[in-house]
Amino acid sequence: MSDQTFHFTLGPVQGFVAQARRTRDFWAGSFLLSWLAGAAMLAVKQQGGTIDFPSPDDGYLGWLTGKGSGDTPRQGCIPNRFKAIQCKVPGDFDPVHIEQSVRDAWRALAESVWTRDLRPHDPSADTRAIWERQIDGFWEISWALGEDNSLLDRRKNWRTHLPPVEGGVKCSMMAGWQELSGAVAPGDACLKDFWEGQRKQFPRDFDEGEHLCAIAFIKRRFVGAFAKLSATMPDGWTLHGWQLDGQMPSTLDLAAAHWVAGLDGARSEDLETLRAATENLLDGSDGGLRLLRCVRETRSEVLTRLHSSALFPHVLENRALCQNRDKVKEVRKALKILDCKTPPAPFYAILLMDGDSLGQLLQTDLQAPPKISRALNAFTSAVPELVDQHNGFLIYAGGDDVLALLPLEDALGCATAIRAVYLAAFKEAFGKEGCSTISAAVTFAHVKIPLTRLLRDSHHLLDDIAKDATGRDALAVRVVKSSGEALQWARPWLCALSVEAPEQLTITRLAERFAADESGEAADFSSKFFYRIRERFAFLNPPKGQPDAEAIFDLEQATSLLAVDYLASGVNRGLTLKIQEAEALIRPLLKQCSPVRRYTSDEDKPRRATQVMPMVPQAGIEFYQQPRLEADAALLVRFLAQKGRERS
C-alpha cells in the first residue's frame, strides 16, 4: 500500500467566525474553529499520518490530548485547511475517522454547554430538537485522497452539504438560523420567557432583545464548559479542553485605551470617584481594559477596572441605556474634576493580514513545504507579542493569517511590524529575500458599527483592494464612520513605507506632523487645508469619465500650486515660510495621494501610468503610478492626526 496525500477542510469559516455581536463572539468563533482543526490533525496522526503543510504546533496539540504544559492557549493557531502525507490507504487509514472526530468533538462541546447551561432550566422538546438539528447540520467538511492539489477544491464544488431548513424567529447573531425557544413569531410568549430566564441566569452574556441559535449560544457560553470537556474519539484517544479566560476587551475598551492610560498620575481619589460613578451607572466593568498593555502598564487597579462605555458621550446620551440621569451627572462631574476636556475618540481598528501566493509557491517548488512550515511557525510564534506590544488583542494567528483588534493609534504600526517579521521568517527559511510577501487590511471603525458587517468588509478590503486592485504586497486602509464609509486608501508596501524611516509609513509620519505635538507647537498642516483638498484635486485631475486623458498638471506643478494654497491656509501663524519650504512639506503628501499599483513583469501595464521606483527594487516587479490625485490619502492623514475627532 503506497502513501497518498490526504486533503481536508472545515467550514464555513466566515459563517462561523465573522458573525459576531461582541468581540468575545469574534474570538470564540476563531478559537473553536482552530480547536476543531486541531482535533482533525490529531486524528490524522493517530492513524500514522504526518502533517506536511502547515506544520502543526505540537505544543498546542498537546493541550488537546490533556498533556499540555506552560501557559494555556488562548488564541486559535491552526488553519482550517491542511494536507497530510504518509497516510496508508485503504487498510490502515480511514478518512471517515477524521471527519467523525471533528463532528464528535463538536457534539461533545455542544452537549457540555447544554448540560451546564440549558438542561437545569427544563427546556422544551422543541428547544432540544432545534439544538440537535443545528449542531448536526452546521459544519461543512470536505476531504480528498490523491496527489493533485486541486482535488479538494473540486470536491467542495460538489456542494453536497445542505444546511437544515430553519423556521420561526431567527437568531440575532447567526443569520438564517432559528433561535432556541422555538417561537413561531416575535410576539410569542415563549420567546420572552425563554430569553428572560437566560438573561436572569447570565446577565452579562445576553443583551435585552437578543435571541440566539444553538451555534451562537455555544460561542457565547462555551468557556464555562470547556475546562471539564473530555470526549473519546473514533480511534480511541481522548480529546480535552482546558481552563480559559473568557474576558475580552470590548470595542469601547480598545477605543478608550490610550485615553484611559493618559489618566495615570491623576489623584487616586479622583480616579476612584470616576470608577465608582461609572460602575454605579453601568453595573461595573468586565475588566477588559486590563488586557491592553498601555492600561496594564499603569499598574493602576482603578484604571483597569474602569467601565470604558461610560466615558463616551453617545453612551451617556443614550436614555435607554442610561435611564438614571442623576447617575449620568455623577459621571460627568467626575470627568470634570479630572479636567477631561475631550472624551475618547470613538474609533478602534481591525487588522487582517494574509500571505500572498503561497499556493503558487507550493506548486512551483517541491522543496518548499517544509521551508514554508518553518517560516510560518516562526512567524506565528512572534505575532502574539507584537500585537500585545501595540496594545492590541490577538484573535487569531495561524499559518499566514493574522486577525487582531487594536486601538486606532497602534494599528498601522502593528501591521508594519508584523510584515517585517513575516519577511524575516521567510528569508531565514529560504536563505534569500522575496520568496513570499504579505498584504494587510486595516479598518478604522466607529464603535457603533456592527462587528459582523465590519468583518465581512475587512475581507473585501484585503482580498479585493489590497491584493487584487493594488497587486499584493500591499496595505489597504478604510475608515468607517457611524454615517458610513468615509474614505479608502491603498498602496504597495514598498511605496507606502518612509524612505527616511523604513519601519514607519509615510502616511503615519505625515499625520504626526499634522497633529500639534505635546508641547503645543503648531502643526505642519492646518485642518482648513485638508478641508478644501477634494475641491483642489478635482481641479488638478484629468476630466471625469476620461480615464485615458492626460492630467492638466504634472505632480511637480500640482505641488507648486498646492503649496500656494497651503501657505494661504493659516499654517504660518506669524512665521514666514518660503514657497520652496512649503513645497517640501506638500510633496510627500501628494505622492501618497497618487494611486500606485504593483505589477509582475508578465502583467499588462496601464497606458497613461508612469513607472515609479520603490524604496527597494524587486526582480520581476514593477510599480506604476496613475496620473491623478485622490483626496482619501490626505483625509486619512487628517483622520489619524485628529484620531477621528472632527474639529475646524
SS (H, E, C) 435-464: CCEEEEEEEEEECCCCHHHHHHHHHHHHHH
* End-to-end Cα separation, the chain, in angstroms: 75
Cα distances from 378 to residues 123, 345, 383, 423, 428, in angstroms, run 48, 35, 9, 11, 10
Domain count, the chain: 3
Residue 90 banded pLDDT, cuts 50, 70, 90: very low
**Domain-located, residue 642:** no
Helix (H, G, I), strand (E, B) or coil at 254: helix
The fraction of the chain above a pLDDT of 70, given in percent, is 91
Whether residue 121 has pLDDT greater than 60? yes
Q: What pLDDT is recorded for position 151? A: 73
CA 587 to chain CA centroid, nearest Å: 32
Distance CA 331, CA 562 (A): 46
- 429 phi, psi to nearest 5 deg: -75, -35
pTM above 0.95, yes or no: no
The fraction of the chain above a pLDDT of 90, given in percent, is 58
Distance CA 344, CA 346 (A): 6
Residues 353 and 283 in one domain: no
Stretch 357-385: mean pLDDT: 85
Residue 110 banded pLDDT, cuts 50, 70, 90: very high
Q: Which of 31-40, 101-110, 505-514 has the lowest mean pLDDT?
A: 505-514
- Which residue carries 471527519 as its cell? 99
Side-chain half-sphere of 225: how many Cα atoms within 13 Å? 22
Domain termination residue (choose one: 293, 316, 337): 337
Q: What pLDDT is recorded for position 648? A: 42
Residues 309 and 229 in one domain: no
Domain termination residue (choose one: 496, 530, 551): 496
Residues 224 and 76 in one domain: yes
Taking the C-alpha atoms of 158, 164, 170 and 176 in order, what is their torsion angle to the nearest 10 degrees?
Answer: 10
Stretch 9-23: mean pLDDT: 88
User: Which amino acid, residue 270?
Assistant: D
- 355 phi, psi to nearest 5 deg: -65, 150
Q: Which helix (H) or strand (E) holds 41?
A: helix 23-46
Residue 72 banded pLDDT, cuts 50, 70, 90: very high
Domain termination residue (choose one: 445, 476, 496): 496
Q: What pLDDT is recorded for position 562? A: 81
Whether residue 159 has pLDDT greater than 80? no
Distance CA 632, CA 590 (A): 11
Cell of 567: 501657505
**Domain-located, residue 41:** yes
Going by C-alpha positions, the residue among 584, 611, 410, 435 that lies closest to residue 500 is: 584
pLDDT higher for 309 or 559?
A: 309
Cβ within 8 Å of residue 158, ≥6 positions away? none
- Write the pLDDT tens digit of every residue in 513-556: 877 533 344 455 566 677 777 778 877 777 666 656 666 677 78
pLDDT averaged over every residue in the chain: 88
- Pairing verdict, β 484-492 and 610-612: unpaired
Among 44-48, 83-87, 142-146, 502-506, the range with the most confident prediction by mean pLDDT is: 502-506
**Domain-located, residue 397:** yes
Whether residue 86 has pLDDT greater than 60? no
**Domain-located, residue 11:** yes
Going by C-alpha positions, the residue among 420, 487, 469, 454 that lies closest to residue 596 is: 469
Cell of 20: 459576531
Q: Which of 73-82, 304-313, 414-423 has the lowest mean pLDDT?
A: 73-82
Residues 8 and 113 in one domain: yes
Q: What pLDDT is recorded for position 387? A: 98
Contact (CB, 8 A) for 56 and 78: yes
Residues 119 and 255 in one domain: no
Cell of 646: 472632527
Residue 574 banded pLDDT, cuts 50, 70, 90: low
Segments forming the whole domain that contains residue 43: 3-167+220-240
Angle at 429 (CA atoms; ends 379, 58), nearest 5 degrees: 55
Residues 121 and 101 in one domain: yes
- Write the pLDDT tens digit of every residue in 451-469: 888 988 999 999 999 999 9
Phi and psi based region of residue 396 (left: phi greater than 0; alpha: psi -120 to 50; beta: remaining): beta
Residues 333 and 358 in one domain: no
Residues 330 and 351 in one domain: no
Among 93-97, 410-414, 428-432, the range with the most confident prediction by mean pLDDT is: 410-414
Q: What pLDDT is recorded for position 517? A: 37
Contact (CB, 8 A) for 75 and 30: yes
**Domain-located, residue 607:** no
- Which residue carries 520603490 as its cell? 614
Cell of 574: 506669524
Residues 266 and 378 in one domain: no
pLDDT higher for 587 or 446?
A: 446
Residue 561 banded pLDDT, cuts 50, 70, 90: confident
Residue 647 banded pLDDT, cuts 50, 70, 90: low
Residues 396 and 477 in one domain: yes
Residue 389 banded pLDDT, cuts 50, 70, 90: very high
Residues 86 and 234 in one domain: yes
Going by C-alpha positions, the residue among 277, 281, 275, 254 that lies closest to residue 263 is: 275
Whether residue 290 has pLDDT greater than 70? yes
Distance CA 307, CA 285 (A): 5
Q: What pLDDT is recorded for position 392? A: 98
**Domain-located, residue 547:** no
SS (H, E, C) 224-241: HHHCCCEEECCCCCEEEC
Q: What pLDDT is recorded for position 552? A: 67
CATH number, domain of 397, equals 3.30.70.270
- Write the pLDDT tens digit of every residue in 31-53: 999 999 999 999 998 888 888 77
Cell of 429: 527559511
Contact (CB, 8 A) for 473 and 437: yes
**Domain-located, residue 590:** no
Q: What pLDDT is recorded for position 78? A: 84
Stretch 200-207: mean pLDDT: 91
**Domain-located, residue 538:** no
Distance CA 311, CA 278 (A): 8
Distance CA 128, CA 116 (A): 14
- Which residue carries 504544559 as its cell? 69
The partner residues of 485 in beta bridges, in order of sequence, read 480
Stretch 127-146: mean pLDDT: 92
Q: What pLDDT is recorded for position 601? A: 84
Q: What pLDDT is recorded for position 154? A: 74
Dihedral of alpha carbons 187, 190, 191, 193, sign: positive
Residues 297 and 359 in one domain: no
Residue 89 banded pLDDT, cuts 50, 70, 90: very low
Q: Which of 41-45, 50-54, 357-361, 594-598 has the lowest mean pLDDT?
A: 50-54
Stretch 312-325: mean pLDDT: 93
Q: What pLDDT is recorded for position 568? A: 76
CATH number, domain of 90, equals 3.30.70.2220
User: Which amino acid, residue 143?
Assistant: W
